[in-house]
Amino acid sequence: MTKLLEINKVLALIKKGDIAFVDLRFVDIRGVWQHKSIPAHEFTQSYIEKGFGFDGSSIRGFSTIFESDMLLKPDVQTLFLDPFFDKTLVAICDVWDPEGDEPFDKDPRYIAKKAEEYLKKTGIADISYWGPEIEFFVFDRLAVNLTPYFSSVEINSTELPFDNAREEDDGYVIRNKEGYLPVPPFDKLQTFRSEMVTILEDIGVEIEVHHHEVSSGGQVEIDMRYDSLVAMADKIMKYKYVARNLAKRYGMTACFLPKPVFGDNGSGMHTHQSLFKKGKNLFYDPKSYAELSKAGLSYAAGLLSNIQILLGITNPTLNSYRRLVPHFEAPTSLAFSKRNRSACVRIPMYYKREEKAKRIEFRTPDPSCNPYLAFSALLVFGMDGIKRKLDPQKLGFGPYDENVWDNAKIPQTPNNLFTILNNLEKDRTLVQSKVFTKNFIASYLEVKRKEAEQALLYPTPSDFWFYGDI
C-alpha cells in the first residue's frame, strides 16, 4: 500500500487485522514530532471525532500542570503506513483544548491553518505554494558528549579526505567544498538518497530531485514538489522522520543542524513561495524585473524589511548564526536579485515566460525551524509588504546582480539570536494578523530563550583554543 490512505479503507484494514497499531503524531513548539501509539482496535470513528487524551504540561511550552489535559484529534486526510514499523498506521493530529472544545492556540499546525485562512480573508490571494529545499548531513558516525568535565563531538564520514589513511578508505574522496554533484563512487550516498526518495513517495511525498551537496562530508539535498502551506509543513515532518530512521537502518546519523562542521558549508532550507488567485500566479509579470510582479516585489520587501524579527522563527537556534556568515554561500546580504545566491531573496530564472513557475526564494531559513511557524510568519510578513505596497528598490534592497559580498554598503543579516528574539517580542504584525497570539509568542520566546541560554552555559573547545593563553 502506498500514498495516503482513506479512512474507510483504514477501518476495513483494522477490522481485517492488517493494522495492529495507530501512531498519533503532533508537532511541538520547537518543531519536533511527538507521538503516542494505540492498539488499532481503539481507533474507532467515535474516538477519531472525540480525540485521544495526553498530558500537555509535559510538552515544552504547551500548558501548565493545572491545565494539562489535552486531546489529539487525527486529521484523517493524513493517514499513511509507517515505512519502518510493520502494521503501524500514522495519523498526523491537531491538538485540541477540551475545556473550550476548540483548537489549542499553541498548536503550530493550528497556527499554520490560521495562516491559510488569513490569506483567503485578505482577498489578495486564495492559496500559497511552498517549496523548501532541505539540506542535511548523513554522517557515518556522530558521537556527542556533554558533561561538566568532558565535552566532545566526533564526526566521521567515509567521504572526507583525511590526512591519515583509514581501513575504510577506498581512494574515492571528495575534496573540501567540492561535493556538489559528483557521481559515484565519489558520491557514496546515492543509494541512501534513492531509497529515501522511494520511501517518501510511497507515503505521499512527491520528490523532484535528489543530489549530493557542496560539503565533502556527507551533505545531501532531496527536493519535494511544491504544495500548499499546511500540507508542505506536514511533508517536512515526514521528510525528517524518514531521513533519521533510514540513516539508522544504514548505521549512520542524519543531522539537520544548520552548521555542524567548521570551515565547510552549512545546511539551509531555501524556501520557494508564491501566491495564486483563481489559478493565476500573482507573482508573474513578463514585463517586470526578473518577470516578478509588483505584488511579488512587495512580498519580498515585506520579508527583507522585517528580517530582524523574522529570523527568530526561521533561524531560531544559536547554531543558525554559525551558518549565516559571508563567503560560505550563506545568504547574509539584505538584498533581492535574479539568479544571485548570495542575496537573501533570489528570483529563480531557470525558465522564462512560465507563469506557474514564477516565485521568490527566501534563502535564509534553515532546517532547525518549525516549518508550520516559519511558513506562517513568512506569509504574514510577505502579505504585510503587499498591503503596504512596499518597494524593495526604494528601500535600498536592490536589485543587485553583481557579487553582493564585495559591496560593503549592503546591510547584512543580524547575528545575535537574543537581539532577534527581543525584536520578535516587540513586534505587533504577527499578532495583529490573528495568525499568532500573544499567548503563543510568549511561550515561544520562553522556550527559545531558555534553550539558547542553556547552550551558552557550556564552554566549547574553541574557548580553550582561542582564550587559553590569556
If you write DSSP's letter for every residue of 14-70 in order, what string do you get?
HHHTS--EEEEEEE-TTS-EEEEEEEGGG--HHHHHH-EEEEGGGSTTT--GGG-EE
What is the pLDDT averaged over residues 278-293? 96
Least confident of 154-158, 161-165, 278-282: 161-165
pLDDT at 166: 56
- For CATH 3.30.590.10, list the domain ranges present in the chain: 117-467
pLDDT class of 167 with cuts at 50, 70, 90: low
pLDDT class of 162 with cuts at 50, 70, 90: low
Q: Is 201 a catalytic residue?
A: no
Torsion angle (degrees, nearest 10) of CA 164, 167, 171, 174:
-70
Q: Which one from 133, 159, 234, 285 is the annotated catalytic residue?
A: 133
Q: Considering only residues 99 and 65, tell me which one the structure prediction assigns the higher pLDDT.
A: 99
pLDDT class of 3 with cuts at 50, 70, 90: low
Q: Is 213 a catalytic residue?
A: yes
Least confident of 233-242, 297-306, 342-351, 406-415: 406-415
Percent of the chain with pLDDT strictly greater than 90:
83
pLDDT tens readout for residues 233-255: 999 999 999 999 999 999 999 99
What is the pLDDT averaged over residues 281-307? 97
What is the pLDDT averaged over residues 18-40? 98
pLDDT at 221: 98
pLDDT class of 408 with cuts at 50, 70, 90: confident
CATH of domain 117-467: 3.30.590.10
- For CATH 3.10.20.70, list the domain ranges present in the chain: 7-104
pLDDT tens readout for residues 98-140: 999 999 999 999 999 999 999 999 999 999 999 999 999 999 9
**Phi/psi at 37 (5° precision):** -110, 140
pLDDT class of 164 with cuts at 50, 70, 90: very low
Q: Which one from 55, 69, 154, 453 is the annotated catalytic residue?
A: 55
Q: Which one from 82, 107, 213, 291 is the annotated catalytic residue?
A: 213
At CA 234, angle to CA 368 and CA 204, rounded to 5? Answer: 125
Percent of the chain with pLDDT strictly greater than 70:
97
| Nearest one of 220, 215, 212 to 161, comparing CA atoms | 215
Helices and strands (DSSP H and E) totals, the chain: 13, 19
Least confident of 118-127, 329-338, 448-457: 329-338
What is residue 357's DSSP assignment? G
Q: Is 221 a catalytic residue?
A: yes
The whole-angstrom separation of Cα 443 and Cα 234 is 22
pLDDT tens readout for residues 145-161: 999 999 999 999 888 76
Mean pLDDT of the chain, nearest integer: 93
pLDDT at 407: 76
pLDDT at 404: 74
Q: Which one from 107, 159, 223, 361 is the annotated catalytic residue?
A: 361
pLDDT class of 2 with cuts at 50, 70, 90: very low
Q: Which one from 135, 159, 223, 384 is the annotated catalytic residue?
A: 135
What is the pLDDT averaged over residues 410-433? 96
Torsion angle (degrees, nearest 10) of CA 319, 325, 330, 332:
110
Q: Considering only residues 341 and 394, tell me which one the structure prediction assigns the higher pLDDT.
A: 394
Q: Is 55 a catalytic residue?
A: yes
pLDDT class of 401 with cuts at 50, 70, 90: confident
Give yes or no for residue 339 having a pLDDT over 90. Answer: no
The whole-angstrom separation of Cα 367 and Cα 352 is 30
425: part of which helix (H) or strand (E)? helix 417-426
Q: Which one from 41, 175, 341, 388 is the annotated catalytic residue?
A: 341
pTM of the prediction? 0.96
Q: Is 135 a catalytic residue?
A: yes
pLDDT tens readout for residues 173-191: 888 888 898 899 999 999 9
Least confident of 23-27, 335-339, 390-394, 446-450: 335-339
pLDDT class of 168 with cuts at 50, 70, 90: low
Is the domain defined by 7-104 classed in CATH 1.10.3720.10?
Answer: no
What are the percentages of helix, strand and coil residues in the chain, rounded to 5?
35, 25, 40
Q: Which one from 193, 270, 272, 323 is the annotated catalytic residue?
A: 270
Q: Which one from 107, 140, 159, 221 is the annotated catalytic residue?
A: 221
| Nearest one of 270, 403, 412 to 347, comparing CA atoms | 270
pLDDT at 163: 46
Q: Is 270 a catalytic residue?
A: yes
